[in-house]
A and B are shown apart, each in its own frame.
Chain A
Amino acid sequence: MSAREEVLGRIRTALGETRAPVPEVVRDYRTTDDRPVAELLDVLVDRLEDYKASVLRCGPEDVAGTVTAALDAGLGTGWAPGSVVAAPGLPAAWRPDGLDTDDDRPPVQLAERAASVTAVAVAIAETGTLVLDGTPPCGRRALSLLPDCLVCVVTADQVVGGVPESLGRLDPLRPLTMISGPSATSDIELERVEGVHGPRTLVVVLVS
């Protein structure tokens, strides 16, 4: 008998011939958030900053300039535009002049770059979480991982209240990355320290 057949057989033996009915799952926890958008944005900013991300807010006409300011904040002024890689689908109106664009180069080459700029698919206010879904505006997973500074552009319509609403908007077949603040660890005496293997600097541009 194959291991597959044997393990499945053991499970059937363990559960018995007359199986207990499957219990109903009551979902009486919060699945929506009725707060106005402006309030959700404030919560998002509060939670992002609490986990040591920086947030810059701007209007829709001023995204490229604010991304430049975000890179100034993350890298210090005087960064070379060629050292910053943008996701291939990042809207042209959001891009500062001269940025490099990610292509199908070997992913480890991205480790030499100073920063990356991506969009997000969804942002969760209550947890301060950005979700990237691997579509061209967000870029492949290595892009938001290897450069030491990550700039993410979030638009107000992408912000939801809690985790349940966010999953409803996401495609589970895409490779998803949920990001809540810069890379961190609690492994030394259970105290949180920001900055381990992922980007040590996270700057969020919030467009509303």
Chain B
Amino acid sequence: MTTTPQDLRTDQTPLAPGAPRSGTTFLGLPTAPRGVGHLRGDRSFPDAARDALRDGQLRANLGHATQTIRGKRARVVAELPDWQQLRAAGSALKTATMARLDEHLEELERQVTARGGTVHWARDAGEANRIVTDLVRATGSDEVVKVKSMATQEIGLNEALEAAGITAHETDLAELIVQLGDDAPSHILVPAIHKNRAEIREIFLRTMPRVDADLTDEPRRLAMAARAHLRERFLRARVAISGANFAVAETGTLAVVESEGNGRMCLTLPETLITVMGIEKLVPTWRDLEVFLQLLPRSSTGERMNPYTSTWAGVTPGDGPQDFHLVLVDNGRTAVLADEVGRQALHCIRCSACLNVCPVYERTGGHAYGSVYPGPIGAVLSPQLTGVEDNASLPYASSLCGACYDVCPVAIDIPSILVHLRAEHVEAQERPTAESVAFRALARAMSHPRLWRLAQRAAGLGRLVARGRPTMPAALPFPASAWTRSRDLPTPPAESFTAQWVREHGGRS
């Protein structure tokens, strides 16, 4: 596949209809706009990762948590003799859904509308935020309760509501910890994975107005403190905002998968429910959920089934919210869909299994990725949603070991997309980079024997800098530092293999 720099558009203005297209896969579809939402970090991954790696407490917390969840997942996945068949079916279902995404969305809209719901469409984060803000304003309420939702984090909904004078109460325990601690989420499933029980206790003691001063750091006591803190808010809430794990096109059924019951509170008690959903999160038929309701809980929390799954279709008289709105958000997803290699990233069901097995994530944590989507899936999703040049360091935030692909319940080939995005980034450079100059020189040397021998002899000088250590120092002068500051460069050997052969065998082959 070839792309030219102008294919990788990151500006906000959509192309005019009929504007010239310059690539075969990227068709000038707008990516997620800058200035709103949480898909871009303010630093590159290596810079942010370097700070994270120095935080011993963070690394201990992450190491403990990811090890726990890896073990739980492996045990419950091993219980199912047909796991690989389910995985293949999940992958095929998502491919089939994307192949007719427009038709399924139109059907979903028809079904939700027929059952008393209202469907709204949003081109991007800003439009979605405006729609939700207006809907909340129309109810007259100045506060909402929220179910944990990646889509609303992605679009920065809480900030938009706050700017409009509306208070959003996060109700998922981990989201609550993040919100009370004035922190940012660092994991898809457990946004507060970077905090341990002692740190969580400290946040609760500092920020919960009526908390018991004798609160211990026992997880059960901490969960009870959250229950007490939120109970009254649930009972008085008039408006709730949720995401959706799945939407069934043929029936208009929406599904939220959760553990604590905060989701059920939000989906059941308020008069108005506003659900914000990315356009890719639907499945064609009710039966398709038989696959995903097996894949998701075992992959995410390592349970046979999560404690609570709620489904609803439109409005049910006498049971639950009587005013239901579904907001369908693009925000760069159609640009991802246009890339035949990268579109697999839209198959993600947000289980976070790839984060938990990733050797890079386990050490750096989620904040280093700068986006609400961290880890391996974030490294392929965020750069595609924003355009590669706005998250150019993320495709390199991986050792390409492939553990993420192995555990992905819908078999997204993350390593291949990473390589694809790296190639796109390299081809997008209008001026040669130090790396590309170095590799071009290397290619020339490797195809000319005399040059190669000269280069080997020159490289041997590196031994003077290494002073007997097995690797070269990380602090080499620029431009070599760009390579060595995050990679080990072995010290050149005293003698090359060819030179040794010539010495010992006198040039006989």
Tell me if B318 and A197 are in contact (CB < 8 A). Answer: no
Interface residue stretch chosen among A67-75, A92-100, A182-190: A182-190
Interface residue from B99, B222, B313 paired with A172 (Cβ < 8 Å): B313
Interface residue stretch chosen among B120-128, B375-383, B465-473: B120-128
Interface residues of B in 155-190 (CB under 8 A from A): 171-174, 177, 190
Also in contact, A24 and B301, with CB within 8 A (given A185-B260, A189-B64) = no
Q: Please name all residues of chain B whose beta carbon is closer than 8 Å to the beta carbon of A27 when the two chains form the complex.
A: 89
Tell me if A145 and B68 are in contact (CB < 8 A). Answer: no
| CA distance in complex: A15, B343 (Å) | 10
* Chain A interface, DSSP helix/strand/loop, else mixed: loop
Residue among A10, A14, A188 with the highest chain B CB neighbour number at 10 A:
A188
| CA distance in complex: A32, B226 (Å) | 41
Q: Please name all residues of chain B whose beta carbon is closer than 8 Å to the beta carbon of A194 when the two chains form the complex.
A: 220
Determine if B251 is an interface residue (Cβ-Cβ < 8 Å): yes
Determine if A38 is an interface residue (Cβ-Cβ < 8 Å): no
CB distance from A87 to the nearest CB of B (A): 12
Q: Please name all residues of chain A whose beta carbon is closer than 8 Å to the beta carbon of B343 when the two chains form the complex.
A: 14
Q: Please name all residues of chain A whose beta carbon is closer than 8 Å to the beta carbon of B224 when the two chains form the complex.
A: 195
Determine if B505 is an interface residue (Cβ-Cβ < 8 Å): no
Q: Please name all residues of chain A whose beta carbon is closer than 8 Å to the beta carbon of B66 when the two chains form the complex.
A: 190
CB distance from A72 to the nearest CB of B (A): 24
Q: Please name all residues of chain B whose beta carbon is closer than 8 Å to the beta carbon of A35 when the two chains form the complex.
A: none
Interface residues of A in 180-205 (CB under 8 A from B): 180-199
Interface residue stretch chosen among B49-57, B290-298, B388-396: B290-298
- Tell me the nearest residue of chain B to A186, going by C-beta: B301
CB distance from B130 to the nearest CB of A (A): 11
Determine if A124 is an interface residue (Cβ-Cβ < 8 Å): yes
| CA distance in complex: A76, B48 (Å) | 54
- Tell me the nearest residue of chain A to B14, going by C-beta: A6
- Tell me the nearest residue of chain B to A179, going by C-beta: B308
Tell me if A177 and B264 are in contact (CB < 8 A). Answer: yes
Interface residue from A25, A30, A177 paired with B308 (Cβ < 8 Å): A177
| CA distance in complex: A22, B103 (Å) | 12
Determine if A80 is an interface residue (Cβ-Cβ < 8 Å): no
CB distance from A24 to the nearest CB of B (A): 7
Determine if B102 is an interface residue (Cβ-Cβ < 8 Å): yes
Tell me if A178 and B235 are in contact (CB < 8 A). Answer: no
Determine if B492 is an interface residue (Cβ-Cβ < 8 Å): no
Determine if B259 is an interface residue (Cβ-Cβ < 8 Å): yes
Interface residue from B290, B308, B319, B330 paired with A178 (Cβ < 8 Å): B308
Tell me if A175 and B223 are in contact (CB < 8 A). Answer: no
| CA distance in complex: A13, B334 (Å) | 9
CB distance from B257 to the nearest CB of A (A): 9
Tell me if A15 and B269 are in contact (CB < 8 A). Answer: no
Q: Please name all residues of chain A whose beta carbon is closer than 8 Å to the beta carbon of B64 when the two chains form the complex.
A: 189
Tell me if A184 and B102 are in contact (CB < 8 A). Answer: no
Interface residues of A in 102-142 (CB under 8 A from B): 104, 107-108, 111, 124, 126-129, 134, 140-142
With A20-B99, A196-B173 given, can you name 13 additional A-B contacts, CB distance below 8 Å? A6-B123, A104-B318, A141-B310, A142-B320, A175-B310, A175-B311, A176-B309, A180-B307, A183-B260, A185-B173, A190-B190, A192-B303, A196-B227
Closest 5 CB pairs between A and B? A198-B261, A197-B261, A10-B334, A196-B260, A127-B305
Complex A-B: 8 CB contacts under 8 Å: A13-B338, A24-B92, A25-B96, A172-B248, A175-B311, A186-B190, A190-B65, A197-B262
Interface residues of A (CB under 8 A from B): 2-4, 6-8, 10-15, 19-31, 47, 51, 104, 107-108, 111, 124, 126-129, 134, 140-142, 145, 162-164, 167-168, 172-199
